[in-house]
Amino acid sequence: MPSWAALLIGLHPVTYASEHSVVDPKRKSFELKSSNVSLQNFISIDEKLVYSPHPTIKDATLLKQEAVVTVRGLSLASRLEQMVTNAISSKASAGREGLEMIIEKINDEMKEFASTAKKGLEEMKNSVDVLDFE
């Protein structure tokens, strides 16, 4: 929320939200729902994110995101709703980029781990080959 709007409605520096997440291993999906607890008399923000396997691209994830913003009892409510919606949209983009960066880092670490394990197994095999059991 813009700082001027926060001052206008007397927003405290600490705000609260409720979040509920569900992992469905059968559908291989993750659903996250959140809504604000603070300032519900003025503004409500209900957000839902669903991560699921892409229906046509193997090894790809589909993200569906929805947010409903409602401002009550304030003049310029539609303008404030639009500003909050724009802020959510820009933060969603940054969140996706952050998630992609984490996934890439995990993939790199897994490749490095696999390479190290393969080298270790080859060294072990070579050590066993040179042993004389007779």
What's the pTM?
A: 0.55
Answer whether residue 74 is part of any domain: yes
Question: What pLDDT is stored for residue 56 in this prediction?
Answer: 94
Answer whether residue 54 is part of any domain: yes
The secondary structure element, H or E, covering residue 44 is strand 43-53
Tokens of 99: 């998630």
The secondary structure element, H or E, covering residue 19 is strand 17-24
Question: What pLDDT is stored for residue 2 in this prediction?
Answer: 61
For residue 80, how many other CB atoms are within 10 A of its CB?
Answer: 20
pLDDT along the chain (134 residues), means of 10: 62 80 92 87 86 91 87 70 76 74 85 89 79 62
Question: What pLDDT is stored for residue 57 in this prediction?
Answer: 92
- Kindly give, in sequence order, each residue whose CB lies less than 8 Å from that of residue 83, ignoring residues fewer than 6 positions away: 1, 2, 5
Question: What pLDDT is stored for residue 55 in this prediction?
Answer: 92
Answer whether residue 134 is part of any domain: no
d(C-alpha 134, C-alpha 131), whole Å:
9
**Residue 20 belongs to what domain range?**
3-129
